[in-house]
Amino acid sequence: MSPYTWRSIQMASTKFMQKTIFNTPVVTPLIRQIAKLLLKLHGWRVKGNQHSLKLKKYVLLGAPHTTNWDGYFFILAALKLKLTPQWMGKDRLFKFPLGGPMRWFGGIAVNRSKANNLVEATIRQFKLNKELIIAIPPEGTRGMAERWKTGFYHIARNAKVPVVLGFINFRKKEVGIGPIAQLGENLEVELNKLRAFYADKIGKFPERYAPPCQ
């Protein structure tokens, strides 16, 4: 392992342990009540698979991802379900003055040019922590992509953690977490299974949605 890669992993170690909106004493319980109120005002329902809710360590997918509103509703849902996810975003989103607030909302800055280091660092954190939820929008962008990025697959497989299928459906005004997926060795087979699950989940801008595989 190169010294540069090792430094990247060490830096990532501090980022995964931060206090966020989901785990700040005194403050979080109050914000949960606000989240429930906002969901009610918006007319949205939160769904939570009971088996998935019992897990403490997994990769949480967030799809379809076609607008910044996805993150808003996912955060409200996570608060209501008492989850403590962290998520990865483009590093330019974390520049001053938004860096602090973005991290408090569970954000982890990602340098897209160092994706391999990020995957390796995330795997290491799963091995070091008894409880860890990393939320990943597999499309990688709210704009149109050709297909899903597969970093989540390699993280889950190498860290030996399950994948939980988080979803949003603007047509039904539903957001939440679905079943657990234990991913097998054949990537294309697994992507086809995920494609079937997300087939009826409609984003705010359906034309921007990129399915797991073509």
| 194 part of a folded domain | yes
pLDDT (0 to 100) of residue 77: 98
How many CB atoms are closer than 10 A to CB 33? 11
For 181-207, the pLDDT digits (tens) are 999 999 999 999 999 999 999 999 999
CA dist 19 to 14, 62, 85, 165, 209, Å?
11, 21, 11, 24, 32
Tell whether the model's pLDDT for residue 180 goes beyond 60: yes
Q: Phi and psi at residue 176, in whole multiples of 5°?
A: 165, -160
Domain span at residue 136? Answer: 3-208
| 213 part of a folded domain | no
- Say how many CA atoms lie within 13 Å of 47 toward its Cβ: 16
Domains identified in the chain, total number: 1
Task: Give the whole-number percent of the chain exceeding pLDDT 90.
Answer: 66
Which of 208, 213, 212 is closest to 67 using CA atoms?
Answer: 208
pLDDT (0 to 100) of residue 4: 37
| 214 part of a folded domain | no
| 192 part of a folded domain | yes
